[in-house]
Amino acid sequence: MKFFSFWRSLASFRVRIALNLKNLSTEIVFIDLDTNAHRTDDYRRVNPQMALPALTLDDGTVLFQSLAILEYLEEKYPEPPMLPVDALGRARVRALALMVACEGHPLLVPRVRRYLDNELNLRDAQQAAWRRHWTVETLAALEGHLARDKATGRFCHGDQPTMADVCIVGHVTVALAQDISLAPWPTVKRIFETAMALPAFAAAHPLAQPDTPEAMRTKN
């Protein structure tokens, strides 16, 4: 398998965690979003959406969209599971994952930020306010669901990490990068800290990747 990734990409972060949880190794192709490497003809041939991540299989099949990739990995490599065994549990985990991957994250991706900048002429402070607003909205919504539901355990759903944890750690990482305090969202904070203590999550962190700029790299 060949994994197209970028250190700062949250969707790539999700797939990195899943590959680590399932102990799968891949060749990694680093695509630098900051130099628009995702908009070259070469990468467009891999993923016409020009977004990361993508995962190509040995027969050349290209998988794209992080949640679809997670679902593929789950079906193909079921151990350890990232989804609960019961239908209601799976629906809840997928819903929590979707709150991040399909609601919060899309408002923060480079192509949206480029549009705010180039077409709507929003300046840095306005763009920062946009990012903060949508980041906080998602944190509040996650806390609302996680805090009230007895299905929440050490992790988002019970005591094993699931796709929901795989998704929320990226969202919290973005919040921390914006210096947003997690104090108003204690359940989210606790689950984030529990998940990031796992080697599979820690090794996938954006600041711990081979293509992370040296100045930003986590020092161990």
Burial 36-64 (b: 16+ CB within 10 A, else e): ebbeeeebeebbeebbbbbbbeeeeeebb
Contact 53, 11 (CB under 8 A): yes
- Least Å distance, CB 168 to ligand GSH, is 14
Which of 7-15, 123-131, 172-180, 192-200 is the region at the interface with ligand GSH (rule: CB under 6 A)? 7-15
Question: In what helix (H) or strand (E) does residue 100 lie, and over which residues does it extend?
Answer: none
Strand blocks (E) in the chain:
2-5, 27-30, 54-56, 62-64
Among 4, 5, 7, 11, contact with ligand GSH (rule: CB under 6 A):
11
Burial 172-182 (b: 16+ CB within 10 A, else e): bbbbeeeebeb
Which of 3-11, 20-28, 140-148, 188-196 is the region at the interface with ligand GSH (rule: CB under 6 A)? 3-11
Q: Which is nearer to ligand GSH, 95 or 147 (CB)?
A: 95
Amino acid at 13: F
Q: What gap in Å lies between CA 115 and CA 120, rounded to an integer?
A: 6
Q: Which is nearer to ligand GSH, 10 or 18 (CB)?
A: 10
Q: Any idea how long the chain is?
A: 220
- Least Å distance, CB 64 to ligand GSH, is 7
188 binds ligand GSH (CB under 6 A): no
Token pair 């909205």 in the structure block, residue: 137
Q: Which is nearer to ligand GSH, 52 or 142 (CB)?
A: 52
- Least Å distance, CB 22 to ligand GSH, is 18
Q: Which is nearer to ligand GSH, 66 or 187 (CB)?
A: 66
Among 101, 139, 168, 172, contact with ligand GSH (rule: CB under 6 A):
101
Binding mask 105-144 for ligand GSH (x = CB under 6 A): ----xxx---------------------------------
Tell me the CA distances in angstroms from 212 to 1, 23, 37, 175, one per residue in order: 22, 22, 15, 19
- Least Å distance, CB 35 to ligand GSH, is 12
Binding mask 43-82 for ligand GSH (x = CB under 6 A): --------xx------------xxx---------------
Q: What gap in Å lies between CA 63 and CA 128, rounded to an integer?
A: 32
Q: Name every residue whose Cβ is closer than 8 Å to that of residue 148 and which is 6 or more positions away in sequence.
A: none
Backbone angles phi, psi at 76, to 5 degrees: -80, -35
Interface ranges with ligand GSH (CB under 6 A): 9-11, 33, 38, 51-52, 65-67, 101, 109-111
